[in-house]
């Protein structure tokens, strides 16, 4: 039976462990929260670890360590800490939302030490446990072959929902563009529904209309499904503050469009509108915040919050 380590058992990492166990993959898990480690150990038979070193010691070659940590310094520090305790042929996977430039750099210095690296753009949010995760991965062919059983267990099915899209860095690059597109789609829905709501003389039922659009319309999508479900219970969204943060990947997408000299006005404006939400009180921003919570479990800022 294949065994791997998962470092970081938060909202995404914990559910990925649950799905891996359903796929008959043994998982050694570590998180700074001992309570989370204990819970997953009891719930799904994860092998708990008291430290990253302990987790690695429970693996056999090739040792696979999947990181689900915040991008930036936490991921950087953990990769450097792993180098002395891993060896030739072992693999580190970064499943967080890292900048693809960082992934390219990390892949290069790990390769020089004989350690494989995979950057995995991971989509699916809090629904990934039941529906499977969409995995966009970048690595060498050799690393991709090693990781295939794990990717198949996490994906919706063995033959879909995951792809080795290219060399190291390409997985996170693909996910970055994916998130930029996501920004644009969300902004379009928010603006359109705000216009429908603003036509007071028609007294339109947004829950009815979004449910209607889910069936055979050209704008049907998972984002629409989630929005329709949210509006069934609350159309006014008065308890949701019109404040929409950005996770970083939308910004990186816009920077990439500038670097390439490729026009991306919709994606750029969608990002700018999120910036603008900090100074506005519009209904559209409440919708955007609601959508982020629906697909990713991102915390919403409620009216009255400081």
Instruction: Give catalytic residue positions.
Output: 175, 182
293 burial (CB, 10 Å; 0-12 / 13-18 / 19+) is middle
Give the Cα separation of 93 and 139 in Å (integer): 9
Length of the chain: 306
29 in Cβ contact with 40 (< 8 Å): yes
Q: In Å, what is the CA distance from 156 to each residue of 130, 163, 213?
A: 9, 12, 25
Query: Which pair of tokens denotes residue 111?
Result: 């390769």
172 burial (CB, 10 Å; 0-12 / 13-18 / 19+) is buried
DSSP assignment, residue 157? B
156 in Cβ contact with 129 (< 8 Å): no
Nearest to 120 by CA among 182, 52, 68: 68
SS3 (DSSP) at 36: helix
Query: Which pair of tokens denotes residue 263?
Result: 């026009």
Strands (E) across 36-128 are located at 47-48, 64-67, 91-94, 116-123
Give the Cα separation of 246 and 276 in Å (integer): 11
């Amino acid at each position: 039976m294949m065994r791997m380590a998962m470092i970081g058992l938060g909202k995404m990492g914990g559910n990925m462990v649950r799905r891996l166990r359903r796929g008959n993959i043994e998982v050694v898990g570590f998180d700074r929260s001992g309570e989370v480690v204990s819970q997953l150990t009891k719930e799904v038979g994860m092998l708990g670890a008291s430290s990253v070193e302990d987790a690695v010691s429970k693996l056999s070659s090739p040792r696979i360590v999947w990181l689900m940590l915040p991008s930036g310094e936490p991921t950087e520090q953990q990769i450097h800490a792993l180098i002395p305790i891993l060896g030739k042929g072992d693999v580190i996977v970064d499943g967080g939302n890292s900048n693809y430039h960082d992934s390219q750099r990390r892949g290069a210095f790990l390769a020089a030490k004989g350690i494989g690296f995979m950057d995995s753009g991971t989509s699916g949010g809090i629904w990934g446990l039941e529906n499977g995760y969409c995995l966009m991965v970048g690595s060498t062919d050799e690393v991709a072959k090693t990781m295939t059983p794990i990717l198949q267990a996490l994906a919706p099915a063995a033959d879909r929902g995951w792809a080795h899209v290219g060399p190291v860095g390409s997985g996170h690059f693909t996910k970055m563009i994916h998130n930029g597109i996501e920004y644009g789609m969300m902004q379009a829905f928010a603006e359109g529904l705000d216009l429908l709501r603003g036509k007071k003389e028609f007294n339109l039922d947004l829950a009815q209309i979004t449910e209607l659009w889910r069936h055979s319309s050209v704008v049907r999508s998972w984002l629409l499904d989630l929005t329709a479900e949210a509006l069934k219970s609350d159309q006014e969204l008065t308890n949701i503050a019109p404040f929409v943060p950005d996770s970083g990947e939308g910004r990186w997408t816009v920077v990439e469009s500038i670097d390439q000299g490729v026009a991306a006005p919709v994606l750029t404006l969608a990002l700018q509108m999120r910036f603008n939400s900090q100074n506005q009180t519009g209904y559209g921003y409440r919708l955007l915040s609601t959508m982020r919570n629906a697909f990713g479990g991102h915390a919403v800022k409620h009216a009255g919050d400081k």
